[in-house]
Copies of this chain bind each other. A is one copy, B any other.
């Protein structure tokens, strides 16, 4: 009996693109990001169809304990003085964590717990981010290249965007030529 050596999916570590029979892709555009950026006029000036980020995901079995593998590709740019970023979310199943790994570009991972305490981690190729449960997470592209990060997370985690309706406690902006994190003035 000839036992086959199966070819699994693969990822290019230099850019986070997958090769697999089925890769699900989802594009998030400017028009999808209502109320995310603090400069509303600058956001409105960007055509609604402008892609801000793409997520690629591999097929996974569904169920308690199963894991997804995906990658986020966040374009560089600013809305006013604020760097492009993902919407960010808590997991619906709050206790479920996630792992991010930087693959391409330069940016920040904004983490925030349920008490609203925020912190930032540098994202760069090879950076490893162990996101605990009960922690919202958002990627911010502070560089000039696409920011790509690999992610592994439980298939049952789900997303909860509504819990962040008041936004994150920090914004990352370019002011006086410097990348700066600013505390949000209860906006």
Question: Chain A interface (Cβ within 8 Å of chain B)?
Answer: 1, 3-13, 18, 20, 58-61, 63-67, 69, 93, 95-99, 101, 108-109, 119-122, 124-130, 132-133, 152-154, 157, 170, 180-183
Residues in B whose Cβ lies below 8 Å from that of A182: 3
Taking a contact as CB atoms under 8 Å apart, the answer to whether A3 and B130 are in contact is no
Are A128 and B9 CB-contacts (below 8 A) given A65-B96, A99-B67, A133-B66? yes
Taking a contact as CB atoms under 8 Å apart, the answer to whether B128 and A18 are in contact is yes
Copy number in this complex? 2
Are A64 and B18 CB-contacts (below 8 A) given A9-B128, A10-B126, A13-B13? no
Are A6 and B121 CB-contacts (below 8 A) given A97-B67, A152-B67, A183-B1? yes
Taking a contact as CB atoms under 8 Å apart, the answer to whether A65 and B183 are in contact is no
- Looking at the assembled complex, report how far the CB atom of A91 sits from the nearest CB atom of chain B, in whole angstroms: 8
Residues in B whose Cβ lies below 8 Å from that of A10: 124, 126-128
